[in-house]
Amino acid sequence: MGRIAVSEARRRLFQLVGEAAEWHVPASIAGRRNTAALVEESDWRVVEEALFLFSIPGVRESIVDGTATPIEDCSENAGW
């Protein structure tokens, strides 16, 4: 969506919320001193979950190792 001014975001708030939900692209809202992002709620929950998981020691390495494991090796019943 790009960066828009707070005054413009205020005027287009309902439209911006709809676009964030439909396109899953955050809007960057710039004020005089600060900038914020408008993100669709389910997208934000994914970010929160990723941040939580990566805060646990060893999880990042486990995910990397898991993505390198062939699918056949991921089940106790491999070869069925």
pLDDT in tens, 3-22: 999 999 999 999 999 999 99
Residues of the chain with CATH 3.40.1620.10: 1-39
Q: What pTM does this model have?
A: 0.70
pLDDT in tens, 53-73: 999 999 989 888 888 888 887
Instruction: Tell me which architecture the domain covering 1-39 has in CATH.
Output: 3-Layer(aba) Sandwich (3.40)
Nearest-angstrom CA–CA distance, 55 and 62 = 13
User: Residue 79 has what pLDDT?
Assistant: 52
Tell me which long-range contacts 36-45 makes (C-beta under 8 A, separation of at least 24): 38/9
Phi, psi of 37 (to 5 degrees): -120, 140
